[in-house]
């Protein structure tokens, strides 16, 4: 029976990778923004390729992120070869799957290969935003590469200090790819620092390493006169928007739901015990936020908000949107219980993006899934009894989401 399941997993793995290459071949744009974003990304590439670094005109830099991506590809990719530009991104995006797989193997000290784990690691290839970034050479996936490499060195079995420094280095590179990855540098800092021996030699080396690796960012912030490039800076001061939190909770619910459902299934007696309390909390949540105006544009906001917009702001779909936000909040509370690493991630992201004009789903896809796999207690999802059910459910769950995203961006986009 186990052998048959292995064969089934292997079959689905082939399909996942085949769909990934097929999407690349047919220029799939499952997130809806790949073709437009590519124009800006390639302009940035040309800017870096044709300019000396210290002579770059930052007013022409069409990105809000620090430019580590362009500094790397400047020396690796030839000019005027769009195919090589996209292929390079595709290859290192694929490598994230295998780095993730070996990282989790190190985390749990697994001595043999596990087909369930490989399948779970490969599910990021079903993410519409990961796929679009890979297919169009966008900036996002470089951060996933650095994040998984950093975690790889953190969990590496040999506990030499050099691996800790390498983990810090790649965590800082995440920050140079996207400023909001500051949350990850904070996570690695608290994972490595020994609070019981503040002035130990190891702690001093860790602190100095962070300091050295983050110093270059001051050059950019000084040149930009802010934390983002001139083209991305907004004249008015950012304003807190409470509806952004609802949008983020709704988006997060999509990626945390399989884990939450698995938890509920294994703890159904706990659910029954507190069922009436949860219903009461849900009703109070709806009553409190139902009359809150939802500021929305034709872009961003997440899948449930898009359904609400598509179907003329139906009251029923507003209830669905708010319910998804409630499930997101409930899931975060459950998964963060006694896990300060996940608390750092969710609190930082919810705070930072409560001040932006538009919340994009790509901020959390597949980042939330990756963070949970790497820093939650996920061993039960691929080793314990019924773990194969979690794998299969997650496979079809994320496949349906991918297909829905493709349909929306090709037929129903408003």
Q: Do residues 407 and 310 make contact, with C-beta atoms less than 8 angstroms apart?
A: no
Task: Kindly state the DSSP code that residue 226 receives in the 8-state scheme.
Answer: S
Read off the pLDDT band of 296 (50, 70, 90): low
Residue in 288, 366, 294 with CA at minimum distance from that of residue 329 = 288
| Helix (H/G/I), strand (E/B), else coil: 358 | coil
Q: Give the Cα separation of 217 and 215 in Å (integer).
A: 5
Is residue 404 pLDDT above 60, yes or no? yes
Give residue 110's pLDDT.
87
| pLDDT tens digit sequence for 242-268 | 889 999 999 999 999 999 888 777 777
| pLDDT tens digit sequence for 68-102 | 999 999 999 998 899 999 999 999 999 999 999 99
Residue in 136, 128, 42, 26 with CA at minimum distance from that of residue 89 = 136
Residue % of the chain over a pLDDT of 70: 96
Is residue 410 pLDDT above 90, yes or no? no
- For tokens 């996207």, name the residue: 178
Mean predicted confidence (pLDDT) in 384-404: 88
Residue in 56, 59, 49, 149 with CA at minimum distance from that of residue 99 = 149
H-helix segments, 66-160: 68-73, 82-107, 115-122, 128-136, 140-155
Residue ranges per structural domain of the chain: 2-231, 242-355
Residue % of the chain over a pLDDT of 90: 65
Higher pLDDT, 302 or 329: 329
Question: CB count, 10 Å around CB of 363?
Answer: 21
Give residue 275's pLDDT.
82
| pLDDT tens digit sequence for 169-180 | 999 999 999 999
Mean predicted confidence (pLDDT) in 393-413: 87
Give residue 73's pLDDT.
93
| pLDDT tens digit sequence for 187-240 | 999 999 988 888 889 999 999 999 999 999 999 999 998 888 887 775 445 688
Is residue 414 pLDDT above 50, yes or no? no
Residue 335: CA count within 13 A, CB half-sphere: 34
Read off the pLDDT band of 108 (50, 70, 90): very high
- For tokens 């997993």, name the residue: 9
Sign of CA dihedral 125, 62, 57, 237: negative
Q: Give the Cα separation of 262 and 259 in Å (integer).
A: 5
Mean predicted confidence (pLDDT) in 291-296: 75
- What phi and psi, each to the nearest 5 degrees, are found at residue 13? -60, -45
Give residue 413's pLDDT.
54
Mean predicted confidence (pLDDT) in 353-365: 90
Residue in 98, 109, 212, 110 with CA at minimum distance from that of residue 145 = 98
**Sequence-ordered list of residues with C-beta below 8 angstroms from that of 306, at least 6 positions apart, any chain:** 408, 414
| pTM for the whole structure | 0.93
Is residue 165 pLDDT above 70, yes or no? yes
- How many residues comprise the chain? 414
Read off the pLDDT band of 114 (50, 70, 90): confident
Residue 373: CA count within 13 A, CB half-sphere: 32
**Average confidence score pLDDT of the chain:** 90
| pLDDT tens digit sequence for 266-284 | 777 777 777 888 899 999 9
Separation of CA 337 from chain center: 21
Read off the pLDDT band of 113 (50, 70, 90): confident
Mean predicted confidence (pLDDT) in 117-121: 94
Q: What is the largest CA-CA distance in the chain?
A: 65
Task: Kindly state the DSSP code that residue 238 receives in the 8-state scheme.
Answer: P
**Sequence-ordered list of residues with C-beta below 8 angstroms from that of 348, at least 6 positions apart, any chain:** 180, 182, 183, 186
């Amino acid at each position: 029976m186990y052998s048959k399941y292995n064969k089934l997993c292997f079959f689905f793995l082939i399909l996942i990778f085949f769909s990934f290459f097929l999407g690349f071949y047919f220029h799939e744009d499952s997130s809806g923004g790949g073709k437009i974003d590519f124009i800006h990304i390639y302009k940035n590439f040309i800017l870096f390729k044709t300019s000396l670094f210290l002579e770059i005109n930052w007013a022409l830099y069409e990105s809000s992120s620090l430019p580590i991506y362009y500094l790397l590809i400047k020396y690796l990719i030839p000019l005027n070869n769009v195919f090589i530009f996209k292929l390079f991104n595709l290859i290192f995006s694929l490598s994230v799957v295998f780095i993730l797989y070996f990282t989790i193997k190190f985390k749990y000290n697994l001595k043999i290969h596990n087909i369930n784990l490989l399948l779970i690691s490969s599910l990021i290839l079903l993410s519409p935003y990961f796929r679009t970034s890979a297919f169009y050479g966008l900036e996002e996936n470089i951060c996933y590469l650095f994040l998984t490499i950093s975690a790889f060195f953190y969990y590496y079995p040999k506990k030499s200090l050099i691996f800790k420094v390498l983990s810090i280095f790649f965590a800082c590179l995440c920050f140079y790819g996207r400023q909001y990855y500051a949350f990850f540098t904070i996570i690695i800092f608290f994972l490595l620092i020994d609070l019981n021996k503040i002035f130990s030699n190891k702690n001093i080396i860790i602190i100095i390493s962070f300091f050295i690796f983050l110093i270059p960012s001051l050059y950019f912030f000084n040149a930009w006169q802010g934390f983002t490039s001139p083209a991305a800076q907004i004249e008015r001061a950012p304003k807190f928007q409470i509806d952004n939190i609802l949008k983020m909770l709704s988006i997060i619910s999509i990626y945390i739901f399989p884990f939450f459902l698995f938890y509920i299934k294994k703890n159904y007696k706990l659910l029954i015990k507190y069922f009436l309390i949860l219903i009461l909390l849900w009703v109070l949540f709806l009553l409190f936020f139902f009359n809150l105006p939802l500021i929305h544009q034709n872009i961003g906001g997440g899948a449930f908000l898009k359904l609400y917009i598509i179907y003329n702001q139906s009251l029923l779909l507003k209830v669905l949107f708010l319910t998804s936000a409630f499930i997101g909040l409930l899931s975060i509370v459950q998964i963060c219980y006694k896990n300060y690493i996940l608390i750092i991630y969710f609190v930082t992201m919810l705070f930072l993006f409560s001040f932006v004009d538009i919340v994009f789903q790509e901020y959390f896809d597949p980042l939330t899934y990756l963070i949970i796999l790497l820093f939650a207690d996920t061993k039960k999802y691929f080793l314990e009894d019924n773990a194969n059910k979690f794998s299969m459910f997650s496979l079809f769950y994320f496949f349906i989401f991918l297909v829905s995203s493709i349909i929306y961006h090709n037929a129903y986009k408003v």
